[in-house]
Structure 1
Amino acid sequence: MIRSYTEHAANERTFLAWLRTGVAVIAFGFLVARFDLFILTMANAVSVRGAGRDRLEALSHSFGRGAGEALIVVGIAFILVATIRFARTGVLLDDAKIHAPGIVLELSLSVILAVLLIAASIPLILPLF
């Protein structure tokens, strides 16, 4: 039997949760990057004309691509941090010493993700017309 099996299993579950989060953030990044197609389709469906259409086109191309790429990079960072954290925690679980928890990296990624999500939602909140 594996020594400290329950702790190693908990470490693996945490790793898988971080992986799911990373994959979800990457998928959301792809969605945001291609959201311009949805905006332009909706603009055609409701017959938006003039300055409103120009603003929609400008907003959809520049912002969507940048925010989507940023979310994809953050999702990849989540996966890399999860892998490093999983390996480090596995080694620390086998060590008999007591170690201080390290949350700086996880907290940093969470703050970056929150800032990106807030930045991505600002154009949706502001009136377009």
Structure 2
Amino acid sequence: MIPHFTDHAANERTYLAWVRTAISVMAFGFLLERFDIFLTYATRVSDRAVTGLHTRASEWLGLGLLLVGALIILGATQRFYRNRRTIEAAESSPYGDYWIARVMSALLIIMALFLMLYVARQIAALG
């Protein structure tokens, strides 16, 4: 029997959930980075000349999301090993919040707001 098996299993499930989340963020970043292909196609289908489209912003935001996804994996791995050591330790330790999680959340919120404004502007330019 493995001591504290349920705790270790829960730690591993949490780690894998973070990895899945990071992969989703990275996939969305890749999709966003390639958003210029959609804009190019949309302008060719349009029956009028479209001006004011800026695809550089989507490229940078997509690359930023790829980086955030990689950082999520690094942070999740660090947290997994720290929790594993804590589970194995004989003494109790407090469960704390980490500033990196707050910074990552704030960064994702800022990126989401920028993306919302960016897409709205692109749609307005197409319409």
User: Which structure 1 residue ranges, 5 or more long, are not aligned?
Assistant: none
- Asked if residue 83 in structure 1 is aligned to residue 80 in structure 2, the reply is no
Deviation at 1:108, TM superposition (A): 2.1
TM-score (norm 2): 0.89
Please name the residue that 1:36 is paired with.
36
Deviation at 1:113, TM superposition (A): 1.4
TM-score (norm 1): 0.88
How many residues end up aligned between the 2 structures?
123
What is the distance in 1 between the residues matched to 2:18 and 2:91? 26
Please name the residue that 1:125 is paired with.
120
Please name the residue that 1:9 is paired with.
9
Secondary structure of the 1:75 match is: helix
RMSD: 1.4
User: Which structure 2 residue ranges, 5 or more long, are not aligned?
Assistant: none
Q: Deviations over 1:1-29 (max 9, x none)?
A: 11111111000000000000111111111
> 1:35-114 counterparts in 2 under 5 A?
35-49=35-49, 53-56=50-53, 59-60=54-55, 62-104=56-98, 105-114=100-109
Deviation at 1:93, TM superposition (A): 0.5
Q: Deviations over 1:86-116 (max 9, x none)?
A: 0000000111222222322222212211211
